[in-house]
Amino acid sequence: MNDIRTETSPHAIPPTILVIVGITGDLSKRKLLPAIEKLVAAGAAPDKLKIVGITRRDVSAKQVLQALPDELPHGFLTQNMSMFQMDLSVSADYKKLDAYLHELEIGLGEGVQRLFYLSVPPQISQPIVKLLGKNGFADKPGTKLLLEKPFGTDLETARELIEQTKQHFAEEQVYRIDHYLAKDMAQNMIVFREGNALLAHTWNNEFIERIDIVASEKIGIEGRAAFYEQTGALRDLVQSHLLQLAALTLMHPSVTRNLRNICQCRIDALRQLHIDESVPFTRAQYSSYADEVKNPGSLTETFADITLKSTDPAWQGVPIRIVTGKALDKKATEIKITYKKINEYESNELLIRFQPNEGIELRLWTKVPGYEWKVENHSLELDFQETFNTSTEAYEQVLLDALKSDQSLFTTSEEVIESWRILAPVQHAWSMSPTISTYKPGSNYDHIAG
């Protein structure tokens, strides 16, 4: 399986200018800038790389770097990051930005690629996309656009956003980020399934009883009232991260060894997914949420529980449950594969863990040593951190793949459309309901669903 993901030497990556819109924001400080330093330290970044931070205020690169964690070295950024002050709503400022980037390109040599990372909400990013396009940025070879979720709020708005973007940028220029796809564990899904006969031969409805994809959080909205009141659990996690995990679980990667086609494998899996309307889908809100957002009539769900079914012959009859919630009893993101019973013993379970610790756990029945016939359930575990003593942050992989023009771990427009299509019946049903149930913080998700 060595050809499933080809490596690109950093020397083969063209000279690059990475433009970050939202350089002073939380994502930039916590994830993007640290990821750049780590890529450089690991020798994975291109030989020639410049960072340009876009800011409306008069902020220096030194001020931005001072806001980074003290333990993070930023020697590369100190030498290679500059700031450009502009009004992102003024077309003339884009001409000035283009001239500034051109000056940087002269020092970098031939074949420079420009990456525009829009670390801002969609209502801000879409006007920027339009002005970048109108000012000719998309026409320059090697220009790429990196966009953060959410990609719409429903099927209709997602289509509108995608069409607006297509007016200015080709699909191959657009990198829609779902950082869950860049997690080591998500990438390992292919290797676990295809590289191990134990799983490869039993990964279908002949052996698997059900699939549960769970994202349980102990924290509440943590001061993100304005964002969450407009979003909710279904839009925040189910539409993006959790449906992508479902696609990784259900797709058929053995069809191709060409990683560029992995996106198509995910699309094919999503196309065959539908809401199982015979199973009630649940929304709920933790009891103190309405007070936190200062909206006693809020119908925003902090908990969502839905069940899907697939028309893929390999998965027909297997319920795929997706559940997520805030203010629950534990922090855990995992995929639980429950195998069919073959005798009087309970089912075997395979756990694929994403948080808090990436790893895999297989629960097996075994006889307890001794004279008596006593059987217990025990686990075989692989903890990534303990085994490899290293890990890669998802945003390091996101940036590296964008630098290498590898879109396999990014979400295509078709995936966005399919995910909203899947959830449309749920959104419609909830929009017609004037009530929402509540749950006590610290609850277990199974108790809420029940």
Closest CA to 279 of 249, 321, 313, 241: 321
Q: Which of 74, 168, 179, 241 is catalytic?
A: 241
Task: Tell me the three state secondary structure of residue 242.
Answer: helix
Burial of 222 (0-12, 13-18, 19+ CB in 10 A): exposed
H helices within 85-214, ranges in order? 91-108, 122-134, 155-166, 184-195, 197-200
Number of residues assigned to the chain: 450
Please provide the DSSP assignment of 286-303 as one string.
ETTHHHHTT-TT----SE
Q: How many CB atoms lie within 10 A of CB 238?
A: 25
Chain Cα centroid distance, residue 108:
32
User: 243 is written with which tokens?
Assistant: 């449906």
Residue with token string 């995992």: 334
Contacts 24+ apart (CB under 8 A), 168-173: 168/129, 168/130, 168/132, 168/133, 168/134, 168/138, 169/129, 169/132, 169/133, 169/138, 169/143, 169/145, 170/138, 171/412, 171/413, 172/407, 173/138, 173/143, 173/144, 173/145
Nearest to 95 by CA among 86, 104, 107: 86
Cis peptide before 441 (omega within 30 of 0): no
Q: How far apart are CA 355 and CA 223, in angstroms?
A: 22
Give all strands (DSSP E) within 36-129, no chain letters: 49-55, 81-85, 113-118
Taken in order 69, 72, 73, 76, is the CA torsion positive or negative?
negative
Could you count the other beta carbons within 10 Å of the beta carbon of residue 122?
18
Complete DSSP assignment for 308-377:
EEE-STTTTT--EEEEEESSBS--EEEEEEEEPP-SSSPPPEEEEEEESS-EEEEEEEEEPSSSS--EEE
3-state DSSP: the chain helix, strand, coil percent, rounded to 5?
Answer: 40, 25, 35
CB atoms under 10 Å from CB of 139, counted, come to: 10
Q: What DSSP element (H or E) covers 398?
A: helix 394-403
Amino acid at position 71, single letter = E
Catalytic status, residue 241: yes
Catalytic residue ranges: 241
